Structure 1
Amino acid sequence: MKYLFAIFLAILTPPAHADTVLAGRTMRAHSVLTEADLKLSPGDVPGSYISVDELVGMETRVVLYAGRPIRIGDVGPPALIDRNQIVRLLYNTGGLQIAAEGRSLSRGGVGDRIRVMNLSSRSTITGTVRPDGSVTVAPPQIPGS
């Protein structure tokens, strides 16, 4: 009888309601979002943002079209590094620290992995963008260690 009552309540309980964030206007890639660029729409679209607060200050990665939901991969942190920008490369392992200059081969925000050409050796490496705009290069991983 308890189980029947629980099933009865589950049937009568209305489904949870969520909003979806839509683009208020068409925006080009690499635009920083403001509250005026966004609007809420009733309904749940899987894989889309549900809060305007999450998006304010983020940068568009792709073109956003007016009235369409903003999906998780459509935005990211604002880019600190532009393509062809000279950046500081940092390599730290154990007690060894090396700093060098490099040229960015792509755009990137905090936490993004980007390719950079070391200006001294002309070799291309991949590193992670830090909050200060420098790029950290991790030591190579040795299999089995």
Structure 2
Amino acid sequence: MRLFLSAVLVAAPGALHAQVAPATVDTPVLVRVIEKGEPISPGDFAVEPRPASVARGAIAPIEAAGLEAARRLMAGAPVRAADLAKPQMVRRGEAVTIALRSGALSITTAGRALSGGGKGDPVRVVSLSTNRTLDAVIEGSSRVRVTGQ
């Protein structure tokens, strides 16, 4: 990041006082509006000068790559870590395929997710055939796995 310092001297007749403009820093900002849940790529960023106070906490485009917006993000705004989340492969209320695997045995059934998350995250699901709530682990998009109990 480059730091630009500038100062403006404002002088009125009979009075002297200086007004200092805030320092600016080259900051990665969004070039378009990103909706909640939408994935972010390095191409969504441009570098523009912003006051140092605004640039504080902004993350680099490469750090944001592959993550998704945790809320609606406006164009021209820097992105902070709290604005991003890892991609959700299962969302709350979504239909899922529940798989139970034990050795050579594999059973699948339809279900509904009670919470969301990314690959490898624990999630609670309801089996539509038995109406039982189960603890599962997210395997992929709309797919969860339960262990034999």
Q: TM-score, normalised by structure 2?
A: 0.56
Q: What is the letter of the counterpart of residue 108 of structure 2?
A: A
Aligned: 1:45 with 2:45:
no
- In the alignment, what sits opposite 2:120? 111
The 8 Å contact of residues 118 and 125 in structure 1, kept in 2 or not, is answered as: yes
* Seq. identity, %: 29
Cα distance per residue 1:88-128 (max 9 Å; x no partner): 22345688755332112344332343332111221223432
- In the alignment, what sits opposite 1:74? 83
The structure carrying a bigger strand percent of its residues is: 2
Aligned: 1:26 with 2:33:
yes
Distance 1:89 1:21, change over 3 A: farther
What do you get for the CA RMSD once the two structures are aligned?
Answer: 3.5
Distance 1:29 1:134, change over 3 A: same
Stretches of structure 2 lacking an aligned partner (at least 5 in a row)? 1-24
Cα distance, 1:19 vs structure 2:
7.3
Q: What is the letter of the counterpart of residue 70 of structure 1?
A: V
Whole-Å separation in 1 of the counterparts to 2:145 and 2:114: 15
Whole-Å separation in 1 of the counterparts to 2:71 and 2:91: 16
Q: What is the letter of the counterpart of residue 75 of structure 2?
A: A
The 8 Å contact of residues 20 and 69 in structure 1, kept in 2 or not, is answered as: yes
- In the alignment, what sits opposite 1:4? none
Cα distance, 1:29 vs structure 2:
0.5
Distance 1:139 1:64, change over 3 A: farther
Counterparts of residues 1-145 of structure 1 (less than 5 Å): 21-40=28-47, 45-46=56-57, 48-50=58-60, 52-92=61-101, 98-131=107-140, 133-138=142-147
Stretches of structure 1 lacking an aligned partner (at least 5 in a row)? 1-17, 141-145
